[in-house]
Amino acid sequence: MRNDERFEIQRAFDLMPHVIGASWTAVWFRMKGIKKPTREEFREKTIEYLRLAEPVFDSYPRDEEFAEICKYIEFRKNEEYAKIKSGENKEIETRYDRYVDYG
């Protein structure tokens, strides 16, 4: 698969973790009155909210035409979850820092 064929999916996975996951997570902690969650709690809640978007990840047909992009989406989804969980997603870490500093 050429890079230009997966460009839009790459961009979506670059943005979705913090736009969907961390944004909803920050609101959840704020509404619960939890000002200082642990990093691990913030990361886990971020993954929880991002998983709610999984129906979109599985929305392409499971036929030959879409096989490569579906395989890439699965790879990228798992990679993003692992990066969030391990603290390697710098945008999530920045969102955590901002939340605990400014709540």
pTM across the whole model: 0.91
CA Rg value for the chain:
15
* CA-CA-CA-CA torsion sign (68, 13, 16, 87): positive
Q: Domain boundaries in the chain?
A: 3-102
Between the two ends of the chain, the Cα-to-Cα distance in Å is: 42
- Number of C-alpha atoms within 13 angstroms, CB side, residue 66? 11
Please give the Cα distance from 89 to 80 (Å, whole number).
Answer: 8
The confidence score (pLDDT) of residue 5 equals 82
Cβ atoms of residues 39 and 22 within 8 Å: no
Residue 15 clears pLDDT 80, i.e. is over it:
yes
Please, what is the average pLDDT of the chain? 95
pLDDT band, very low/low/confident/very high, at 1 (cuts 50, 70, 90): low
DSSP 17: I
Cβ atoms of residues 34 and 27 within 8 Å: no
Q: Which residue has the higher pLDDT, 10 or 4?
A: 10
Amino acid identity for residue 10 in this structure: Q
Residue 69 clears pLDDT 80, i.e. is over it:
yes
